[in-house]
Amino acid sequence: MRLFSLVLVLVLLACSKPETPQKPDSSAEVVADPVSVALPDSEWAKHGLGDDEQRFSSLDQISPDNIGNLGLAWSFDISTRRGIEATPLMVDGVLYVSGSWSIVYALDAKTGALKWFYDPKVPRSTLANGCCDAVNRGVAYANGKVFVGTYDGRLVALAAETGEVVWEALTVDQSQPYTITGAPRIAKDNIIIGNAGAELGVRGYVTAYNIESGDLAWRFYTVPGNPANGFESKVLEMAAKTWNGEWWKWGGGGTAWDSMSYDPELNLFYVGVGNGSPWNQSLRSPGGGDNLFLSSIVALRPDTGEYVWHYQTTPGETWDYTATQHIMLADLSIDGKERKVLMQAPKNGFFYILDRVTGELLSAEKFTVANWASHIDMDTGRPVETETARIFDGVNVIIPSNGGGHNWPPMSYNPNTGLVYIPTMIFPGNFKAPTRDMDRLPRQSTYNTGFDRTALVPPNVPDIDEIFASQFTGKLVAWDPVTQKEKWSLAPGRPGSSGTLSTAGNLVFQGVQENFVAYDARSGEQLWSAEVQSLAAGSPITYAIDGEQYIAIAVGFGGGIGAEAGAISHAWKAKNRSRVLVYKLGGSHTLPPVAAEVERPIPKPAPVTVSNERVQEGLVLFQRHCSFCHGDGLRSSGLTPDLRWSGAAIHEIWQDIVRGGILESRGMVSFGQYVSAEDAESIRQYVLSEANRVYDLDNL
């Protein structure tokens, strides 16, 4: 039927005077003019839509005039209950979505019917190899194949038609805590994938494989290895001159875990490089140095992996200031001159415009609050750090925090408004130098930042949730990249928003906590909102089938907000209802109602049986080994168990869990290598102490 009416309208247009055909009644099933759907962007076949990753679609059927009629067309329940961060792809009528544990779902893009799913069977014991949940940010598509990077470090090519494995390549040393959460990218004959794990002591790199055969084409290491083993290239020999000490014992970091983009015309492939391992540079590279290519954008030849240029956003990185945030390419008129630019808003809070031919810095301004540097010196291209930025004797409150002024949620660029839509965050981060050996020694497989994480324990004050709500915020910012100024921004709300989608309908779509929202791209006025019943963190896309425009988003609570930032999201307790949600004009599908929450009172805990000193020791050990999953100061988001609610049965088998690893299949691996039986008991006593405190407050 739809096809018929589309043909009819086209015939009418061709035969009659160029008058707008009668618009259907707004209450009718079809509420917009189907011919206005431009065909070029009917699919969403690449992660960022185009190789330039602008995430701007020319589809304009859905507009500010009719968005009130946007409704759910269909939904698909994802079976896993962890974070969802994917950008779906839509190719030839099929929507490809990756869920947690790197599971791929192929769905009919019009109806949501499951075509196939692929489960790479990632061992759940690998959960603790990553910082921020077993998420996956998307698949790639080329030549009838769908590619997924798995959490345990494999790259798998699937037949798009059936989901059958065509080839599989192991991209990491699985004895080390490498993970893959990012989307692979296609450039020429290659599929290129990075990895993650800089918090856990690995050395970063990106690898290219031949799309058809899966053969390794090239590998580019982002940081130098041990000089005694010889350097892989002259470029790494050069990079090693910017390092001191025995950095390789710490891994060095520099993992390229998310952003990449590609300019086919220039034959350049751009990679965003992550933070140092450990964060604390005075341990990683005593005496300083720029530590190339940490926190850099590196331009490579996509066919050979040959280095062409780099720009380092944060020399001597020490605050987890990755440059793995979204890299976007555009042609802009800067100072009256047409420039081929590259744009990035990395964690460090500055919006960078580079000449993407040469890597030359064209401009950089703060897009959010940043107290670690005053500005970027345009002569040297380097940040001018504030005097106290690297003083960690006491607790140094640095903004942005390690969470960044902007993290992985992608931006989008609307060439009609000339604005970049950035999901920003404003968090303070507490940095404190370590006083204990366990924070000063290279260690893999446990969160190894080189800072004292007791600085992150929230104070025991009754209104801590309100304090956190006011201190940890996020907001959408519309940024003019030419003038490097904010055009508009929204009122700050809770952090944890999704990436943005821009359309030629002059709309910006974004997941905002438990809602999926559309704004007017010109003014920021909120035009539409839909409840999604979970965290709307996946990045939205749009596509068209049979003359109808669809908007898709994958949702599910978890990721960094659920894991690493557990203390912040503690009072939030968003629920994981992982789904793919697809909207269209006139859509009338509804989600099942959500059952009322039942408060679970804290069970009466056993008394603390050790000294206060030992409880404090337990706190230190907990922060060192447990907090990045179970929440700073035991404030878990609920994604990982809130240990204060542990019943007597859990306390009875505490040693078996913490050291014996009996819950390994659920992601709680053994910490026996790092935690003695006495340590485990100290942690347990700290948990009891905090459980008693909460119990007493609840039962006043």
Question: What residues are annotated to the active site?
Answer: 320
Closest distance to Ca ion from the beta carbon of 251 (Å): 12
Closest distance to Ca ion from the beta carbon of 449 (Å): 9
Closest distance to Ca ion from the beta carbon of 257 (Å): 8
- What would the DSSP string read from start to end of 301-319? -TTT--EEEEEESSTT--S
- 51 near Ca ion (CB under 5 A): no
Task: Specify the DSSP class assigned to residue 22.
Answer: P
- DSSP SS3 for 342: strand
Ramachandran region of residue 436, left (φ > 0), alpha (ψ -120 to 50) or beta? Answer: beta
Site string for Ca ion, 231-270 (x = CB under 5 A): ----------------------------------------
Of 576, 567, 586, nearest in space to 430 by CA: 567
The piece of 287-295, 312-320, 364-372, 571-579 that touches Ca ion (CB under 5 A) is: 312-320
Closest distance to Ca ion from the beta carbon of 64 (Å): 38
Structure-block tokens of residue 259: 């952003």
- DSSP SS3 for 6: helix
Residue 477's φ and ψ, nearest 5 degrees, are -120, 130
Site string for Ca ion, 22-41 (x = CB under 5 A): --------------------
Structure-block tokens of residue 671: 């910490």
When the beta carbons of 190 and 275 are compared against Ca ion, the nearer one is 275
Q: What share of the chain is helix, strand, coil (3-state, %, to 5)?
A: 20, 30, 50
When the beta carbons of 275 and 318 are compared against Ca ion, the nearer one is 275
Alpha carbon distances (Å) from 430 to 255, 419, 450, 623, 683 = 23, 33, 13, 13, 22
Closest distance to Ca ion from the beta carbon of 320 (Å): 5
Closest distance to Ca ion from the beta carbon of 199 (Å): 5
The piece of 62-70, 314-322, 428-436, 517-525 that touches Ca ion (CB under 5 A) is: 314-322
The residue written with tokens 């933070």 in the block is: 275
Q: Which of residues 319-348 bind Ca ion (CB under 5 A)?
A: 320
Give dist(CA 242, CA 250) in Å, integer: 16
When the beta carbons of 262 and 408 are compared against Ca ion, the nearer one is 408
Residue 394's φ and ψ, nearest 5 degrees, are -105, -155
When the beta carbons of 52 and 133 are compared against Ca ion, the nearer one is 133
Of 111, 116, 173, 122, nearest in space to 146 by CA: 116
* Half-sphere exposure at residue 569, Cβ-oriented, CA atoms within 13 angstroms: 30
When the beta carbons of 136 and 325 are compared against Ca ion, the nearer one is 325
Give dist(CA 595, CA 75) in Å, integer: 18
Collect all residues with Cβ–Cβ distance below 8 Å to 613 and sequence separation of at least 6.
Answer: none
Closest distance to Ca ion from the beta carbon of 322 (Å): 5
Rg of the chain (C-alpha set): 25
Number of residues this chain uses to bind Ca ion (CB under 5 A):
2
Q: Which of residues 668-687 bind Ca ion (CB under 5 A)?
A: none
* Beta strands 70-77; 89-91: pairing state: unpaired
Closest distance to Ca ion from the beta carbon of 172 (Å): 17
When the beta carbons of 74 and 392 are compared against Ca ion, the nearer one is 392
Closest distance to Ca ion from the beta carbon of 290 (Å): 18
Helices 677-698/612-625 angle, 10° precision: 100
When the beta carbons of 202 and 422 are compared against Ca ion, the nearer one is 202
Closest distance to Ca ion from the beta carbon of 198 (Å): 5
When the beta carbons of 275 and 539 are compared against Ca ion, the nearer one is 275
When the beta carbons of 61 and 275 are compared against Ca ion, the nearer one is 275
Give dist(CA 627, CA 453) in Å, integer: 8
The piece of 289-297, 316-324, 515-523, 583-591 that touches Ca ion (CB under 5 A) is: 316-324
**Burial (CB count within 10 angstroms: exposed 0-12, middle 13-18, buried 19+), residue 138:** buried
CA angle 651, 135, 150 (to 5 degrees): 110
**Burial (CB count within 10 angstroms: exposed 0-12, middle 13-18, buried 19+), residue 492:** middle
122, amino acid identity: V
Instruction: Dump strand ranges (E) for 427-547.
Output: 429-431, 473-480, 485-489, 497-503, 507-512, 515-520, 526-531, 541-545
Alpha carbon distances (Å) from 119 to 101, 131, 333, 559, 578 = 8, 22, 46, 19, 16
Closest distance to Ca ion from the beta carbon of 527 (Å): 35
Whether the CB-CB separation of 323 and 296 falls below 8 Å is answered with: yes
Give dist(CA 675, CA 678) in Å, integer: 8
Work out which of 42, 275, 498, 637 binds Ca ion, going by CB under 5 A. 275
Give dist(CA 31, CA 360) in Å, integer: 48
Closest distance to Ca ion from the beta carbon of 249 (Å): 19
| Residues of this chain that bind Ca ion (CB under 5 A) | 275, 320
